[in-house]
Amino acid sequence: MQSTSLFKKEGFRNAGIRREQLKNYLDEGSLIRESRGIYSFADSINDEFVLLQSRCKKGVFSYGTVLYFHGLSDRFPQMVSMTVPKNYNVFYLKEELFHVEFHRIKPSLWSIGMMEMLSPQGGKIMVYDRERCICDMIRSRKQTDPQIFSQAVKGYFASKKRDNIRLMEYAKKFRIEEKVQEYMEIL
């Protein structure tokens, strides 16, 4: 597991803890069942982002959520955004995780720009890099808040951390080279 305060059922099994013992820990309140197969200690403070990612194994934090993490937006979004491959089933999660917005993408494009980052609470999570975020924003401009879009794109192109070569590589894969080139010329 990614965080020391969250444990999978299989981790208990591998440690030699039987199902009956696990049930006893749950009954006495020393363990809490966070979701199916995921547990935490009652006195621990859990990282919500690590928990979300442990529930949606192929979910990568994206769009407004990651813009905020990368400092390209000063607004934390109302909905947490995660991107999954189109062939990954999130139907059961949509009902439980009403505060998560799932974006679906071709499996061949899903892993582009994926990187590991520390969440605001310090847990390791998978997110998209800055260049992938900008490509996603440009691809979905009509569905994006204009203020967030403007702040993210202007912030990216004004940043010393930008990587124009990587941005154009991603733009080519997403077939938005012309749009990205326009923003590069304007900003």
pLDDT at residue 36, as a whole number: 72
Is residue 136 domain-shared with residue 161, that is, in the same domain? yes
Burial of 168 (0-12, 13-18, 19+ CB in 10 A): middle
pLDDT at residue 4, as a whole number: 52
Is residue 64 domain-shared with residue 112, that is, in the same domain? yes
| Structural domains of the chain, count | 2
pLDDT at residue 20, as a whole number: 80
Is residue 55 domain-shared with residue 126, that is, in the same domain? yes
∠ CA(46), CA(132), CA(108), 5° rounding?
A: 95
> Bigger pLDDT: 43 or 102?
102
Tokens 């994926």 label which residue?
114
Is residue 96 domain-shared with residue 130, that is, in the same domain? yes
Is residue 16 domain-shared with residue 81, that is, in the same domain? no
> Bigger pLDDT: 1 or 52?
52
pLDDT higher than threshold 60 for residue 66: yes
Burial of 163 (0-12, 13-18, 19+ CB in 10 A): middle
Nearest to 137 by CA among 85, 106, 179: 179
pLDDT at residue 44, as a whole number: 67
Does the residue 1 lie in any domain?
no
Written as six digits, the tokens of 172 are 């080519």
Model confidence pLDDT, tens digit, residues 1-44? 334 567 777 777 777 878 787 777 777 776 777 767 777 676 76
Structural domain boundaries enclosing 23: 6-46
Is residue 71 domain-shared with residue 159, that is, in the same domain? yes
Does the residue 182 lie in any domain?
yes
